[in-house]
Amino acid sequence: MAKTNPEVDEITNTQKTINEFSINIATVNGSGSQTANLALIRSIFKMGIPVSGKNIFPSNIQGLPTWYKIRVSKAGYLARSQKTEIAVAMNPKTFTDDLDDLAPGGVFLYADHIKEPIPREDLLLCPMPVKALVKQAKPPRELRVYVANMVYVGVLAYLLDIQLKTLESALDFHFKGKQGAVDFNLSVIRDAFQWAENNLDIVSPFKVQPLNLTDGCNLANGNTAGGLGTIYGGMHFLSWYPITPATSLPEAILEYAPGLRKDPETGKSTFAIIQAEDELASIGMVVGAGWAGLRAMTATSGPGLSLMGEYASLAYYAEIPIVVWNVQRVGPSTGLPTRTAQGDVNLTYYLGQGDTEHVVLIPGSVKECFEFGWKALDLAELLQTPVFVLSDLDLGQNQWMTPPFEYPDTPIERGKILWEEDLEKIKDDWGRYLDLDGDNIPYRTVPGNQHPKSAYFARGTGHDDYANYSEKPEDWEEHLDRIKRKVDSSRTMLPEPEITTRSGSKNGIIAFGSTDAAVREACDYLAAEGVKLDYLRVRALPVSLKVLEFIREYEQVYVIENNRDGQMHSILSLELPGSASDLVSLSHIDGLPLSAEWIKDAVLEEEKS
Amino acid sequence: MAEKTAKKNELGLTKKDYKGQKSTLCLGCGHNAIVGQVISACFELNIPPERVIKVSGIGCSSKAPTYFMKRSFGFNGLHGRMPSLVTGALFADTSLIGIGVSGDGDTASIGMGQFKHVTRRNLPFLYIVANNGVYGLTKGQFSATAEKGLALKKQGQNRYVPVDIVWEAIAGRASFVARTFSGDPQQLKALIKAGLHHRGIAVIDVISPCVTFNNQDDSYHSYAWGKSHEVALHELSFVPPVKAIKVKYEKGETLEVPLFDGTHIILKKLAHNYEPTDRARALQMLEDANRKNELVTGLIYINPKQKSLFDLYDLPDMPLNRLPIEKLRPSPESLEEINQQMF
């Protein structure tokens, strides 16, 4: 291979290629490559090296191209990298593209039965005898296609020095101890490893070497974390309807709640789950449950959220606590249902008819998905309003390195609920919408309360302080204004923004949600080029006053987001019209998680102009 | 004072305790009869108003819950989406009695999906459809139950065949399905009582004339048509458990249907020698009646043994909404274990 290319020299510089590279694995979806890919990233993780895995997949069950991008980074950069140093080509249909995308000096593994031309000379080539190795393993016919993927696992293990024993523990975890499956897959991996050792004459410059940088961490996705957080938040009632990429959140609750939420005294379940007929019904059930005193939640994505608009709007006005997770994907309609975006910021914040502005929590890590899972339920009941949790496909479905989940540090908050004995103490008439405490949050009763004064009639129609039907102009205006003040006052109760400063920063950068990793990485690159930025991550809407202070502090603040129109930018501009001209929207949407490279380039361009 | 002399039920409550706000429906509206019979039935059954939750969708029908039982919790939800609302609400306390009032637009058009699914789930509650074949609140458009050929003032003639709510309920596997007529208050009340004691969904399709927009003598949802075409399947009475059946009916004439709580429905056969326990027969009977242009009323189908939604869940005796918070959050050790189990 050509050694004259300076880029190749750079890439083969050992310092830079140990524990610092990306692998792009191209397969056909439905071929079971997920098992192979998870085994790889788990093994690398177990070796103590920071790693992330991103599934770039089609909306399809079998037969379309799918990619899995593994990023290995001793520096801890776990966002999607635009650069690929190692490619595994198992899919003839994408072979040429996969080849083209590879960085000079990269390693190209491919199934040797794919007979496509390879016009590049700046790569290390590794044809793999996939069919022969599968045949040698004699798998049952129906497993043939699946075990083929274990071939590249074995070859990569050889090329990159991935330990076989960590692969074994990864498979053991994956198959939940099913020894037969573990043994069989492992035997294919060993055969492939053996073949590579005996036959390959290339030496990969990219290697993994054990570190201890993942100690005390787990590999998990945000949806599982959100589901678990919900369970620890005392969720009573979940109603949901399947939709990518939210589905795995309710499914995590389905998996874990039966074991975790049995009353030890009676052995009965302290929760109920119902799969609804659609999102209109799932939110309807949740609103009914929330009204009746259950900590109720649902999870959906953009299209489902649109259908939920009317009930969410009613819940906002009738002041009913509910929690709605929106795991965003690319819209509208189906859009790119299996690709990620932050395109529902406005839809979620303003969901409803008339005037609505909701409380929205925005987790930026798997750990925060757990935390906001329980916190959302508390906030909904404390504020008696819908609380939305805005996640996305990248955070929800992909594998992230995360510290262990932290047990809630505050007790369950049920807010102002009056039971029989409370009503007994109230001499005058009790009013559902009376602001007794002057904090804009009234008291509520819930069905089942047997006190003769307990009942009230909930409705979307105008009502007075006593929940009586009213079309009086002043009643409508006063109530809508109080609700506005209530949601406004939540700014101090919601998760504060996370601020990271660098000395000498002249400008700031604001982001939210899953782009956190890419923004941090970009800030490092920018600092290296002399552009120092202080970074603020918004964690909730309506925004904290700290966000507004931050914006005022800098000459220019870049707002990074994974959508077309800069939706967060527009919300911040409305919050602080006087500083709107200092806010620079840098938004981008193509279905992929934002990369540090894109953010760096976008900021540099602005800095130059 | 009138209140002191008013008749009290076993709870010491008077009928007034079961009333709601004054009705703002049109004078003579069939829905007022429904409101009146719900009040009477609950009063006579000695149901504590606080044990009832009343829910509705949108439309004239859905205003009804405001006019009965002001001491019950109520929720006027969204068009066609009362079934989901009440499903979630009843999970909070499954001992509560749900009364839903919907209309033909609310149930058979926008709410068809939720209607079919709530019947399929057999959620225990009383689902009353105030069916007048017309949209009242929006001033006289055809509803999905309007008969083909019906002529309305601004709409011309209806082109489409109607949806039969009873048929849909039976096909949806509802466990209690009845049809009655606002002009037949005794049957209406007996069915409401039986429905309130049925463990499962009790759908009552009440032909309830709209005096303002659809009460022409030849309209299928008018008083006149109902009165002249009603064929009651049976004389129906509801028997509480305390009153042992004293009246002896002649064999073959009556059918006794025991409900889960020891109460009984007694059906004295009148027409068609009909027994409402067979789904296929029920549909056949409806088809025959339709052909003969009859408004058959009564209990069309019942299966008191069908599992209700809550029979499928393993819920504690204590209502979920009263569980102390200690029971809602798993232990720190359990989270520790989960953290250990993750990769």
Reply yes or no on whether the pLDDT at A237 is more than 50: yes
Q: Which of A239, A449, A469 has its CB closest to that of B88?
A: A239
Check A272 against B313: CB less than 8 A apart. yes
What separation in angstroms does the CA of A459 have from each of A315, A485, B224? 9, 20, 35
pLDDT at B239: 86
- Give me the numbers of helices (H) and strands (E) for chain A, helices first please: 21, 21
Q: Which residues of B75-97 are buried (b: 16+ CB within 10 A; e: fewer)?
A: bbbbbbbbbbbbbbbbbbbbebb
- Nearest of A267, A271, A266, A268 to residue A253 by alpha carbon: A271
Least confident piece of the model among A403-417, B25-39, B253-267, B296-310: B253-267
- Judge whether A280 is closer than 8 Å to chain B, CB to CB: yes
For residue B336, the model assigns a pLDDT of 97
- Residues of chain B with Cβ-Cβ distance to A448 below 8 Å are 92-93, 95-96, 319, 321-322
Q: What's the pTM value of the predicted model, to 2 decimals?
A: 0.95
Stretch(es) of chain A classified as CATH 3.40.50.970:
220-402
Q: B312 — contact with chain A (CB < 8 Å)?
A: no
Phi-psi map region of A307: left, alpha, beta (phi>0 left; psi -120 to 50 alpha): alpha
Q: Tell me whether residues B89 and A450 touch, CB distance under 8 A.
A: no
Neighbours of A579 (CB within 10 A): 16
In percent, the amount of chain A with pLDDT more than 90 equals 89
Q: Which helix (H) or strand (E) holds A275?
A: strand A272-275
pLDDT in tens, A256-276: 999 999 999 999 999 999 999
Query: In the sheet that A124-128 helps form, which strands lie side by side, from edge to edge?
Result: A51-56, A65-73, A20-28, A84-89, A102-111, A124-128
Closest-CA distance, A264 to chain B, in angstroms, reads: 9
Distance CA A49, CA B158 (A): 71
Pairwise CB contact (< 8 Å): A286 & B73: no
Chain B residues in contact with A419 by the CB 8 A cut-off are 322
For the segment A521-558, what is each residue's pLDDT rounded down to a tens digit? 999 999 999 999 999 999 999 999 999 999 999 999 99
- The closest alpha carbon to B188, from B222, B237, B145, belongs to B237
- pLDDT score of B263 more than 50: yes
Is residue A562 a contact partner of residue A515, using CB atoms and an 8 Å limit?
yes
Interface test with B, best of A235, A239, A268, A313 (most B CBs within 10 A): A268
Instruction: Say if strands A102-111 and A124-128 run parallel, antiparallel, or are unpaired.
Output: parallel
Q: Which residues of A touch B338 (CB under 8 A)?
A: 228, 256, 405
- Cis link prior to A497 (omega < 30° from 0)? no
Task: Dump pLDDT digits (tens) for B38-51.
Answer: 999 999 999 999 99
The answer, yes or no, to whether residue A495 has pLDDT greater than 80, is yes
Tell me what the mean pLDDT of segment A377-385 comes to: 98
CB atoms within 10 A of CB A42: 22
Beta pairing partners, B230:
B295
User: Of A245, A244, A241, A248, which is closest to residue A226 (Cα–Cα)?
Assistant: A248
**Residue A6 above 70 pLDDT?**
no
Task: Flag whether residue A273 sits within 8 Å of chain B, measured between CB atoms.
Answer: no
Contact A292 B114 (CB under 8 A): no
Q: How far apart are CA B34 and CA B206, in angstroms?
A: 8
Best CATH choice for the domain A6-199 from the list 3.40.50.280, 3.40.920.10, 1.10.10.10, 3.40.50.300: 3.40.920.10
Residue A138 has pLDDT above 80, yes or no: yes
pLDDT at A144: 76
Question: For residues A378 and A233, what is the distance between their CA atoms, to the nearest angstrom?
Answer: 7
Q: Does B11 contact chain A (CB < 8 Å)? A: no
Q: Residue A509: beta bridge partners? A: A535, A558
Over residues B318-343, mean pLDDT: 96
Identify the pLDDT of residue A3: 40
pLDDT of residue B249: 53
Among residues 38-77 of chain B, which lie with CB inside 8 Å of chain A? 48-51, 53, 55, 65-66, 70-77
pLDDT band at A29 (very low <50, low <70, confident <90, very high): confident
Q: Tell me which amino acid residue A605 is.
A: E
In the predicted model, what is the mean pLDDT of residues A54-60? Answer: 89
Q: What is the pLDDT of residue A8?
A: 46
pLDDT band of residue B242 (cuts 50, 70, 90) is low
Whole-number pLDDT of residue B201 = 98
State mean pLDDT over B321-333. 98
- Specify the fold of B2-322: Rossmann fold (3.40.50)
A453: closest CA of chain B, how far (Å): 7
**Minimal CA separation from A529 to chain B, in Å:** 37
Q: Where in chain A is the domain with CATH 3.40.50.920?
A: 498-608
pLDDT of residue B251: 56
Residues from chain B that touch A46, judged by Cβ atoms under 8 A, are 343
Return d(Cα B82, Cα A609) in angstroms, integer: 57
Verify whether the Cβ–Cβ distance B74 to A256 is below 8 Å.
Answer: no
A403-454: pLDDT as tens digits: 999 999 999 999 999 999 999 999 888 899 999 999 999 999 999 999 999 9
Q: What is the ipTM of this complex?
A: 0.96
Average pLDDT score over chain A? 94
Q: List pLDDT tens digits, range A59-76.
A: 888 888 999 999 999 999
A392: nearest Cα among A445, A424, A348, A449: A348
**Dihedral sign, Cα of residue A387, residue A390, residue A395, residue A397:** positive
Confidence of residue B247 (pLDDT cuts 50, 70, 90): low
Say if residue A52's pLDDT is above 60: yes
Q: Per residue in A397-412, pLDDT tens?
A: 999 999 999 999 999 9
- For chain A, residues classed under CATH 3.40.920.10 are 6-199
Which of A269, A281, A419 has its CB closest to that of B84? A281
The single-letter DSSP state of residue B68 is B
Asked if A448 reaches chain B (Cβ–Cβ under 8 Å), the answer is: yes
* CB-CB under 8 Å, A270 with B316: yes
Do residue A458 and residue B76 have CB atoms under 8 angstroms apart? yes
Q: Does A282 touch chain B (CB under 8 A)?
A: yes
In whole angstroms, give the CA distance from residue A191 to residue A597: 38
8 Å CB contact of B53 and A447: yes
pLDDT category at A32 given cuts 50, 70, 90 is confident
CB spacing of B320 vs A458 below 8 angstroms? no
Q: What is the pLDDT of residue A1?
A: 37
- Extract the tokens encoding A375: 């916190």
Q: What is the CATH number of domain A220-402?
A: 3.40.50.970
Average pLDDT over residues A300-313: 98
Q: What pLDDT, in 10s, does the model give residues B84-137?
A: 999 999 999 999 999 999 999 999 999 999 999 999 999 999 999 999 999 999
- State residue A13's pLDDT score: 57
Is residue A79 within 8 A of residue A595, CB to CB? The reply is yes
A99-134: b (≥16 Cβ within 10 Å) or e: bebbbbbbbbbbbeebeeeeeeebbbebbbbbeebb
Find chain B residues with C-beta within 8 A of A405's C-beta. 335, 338-339
Topology annotation, domain A498-608: Rossmann fold (3.40.50)
Kindly state the tokens that stand for A275: 């799969």
pLDDT given for residue B69 in this prediction:
97
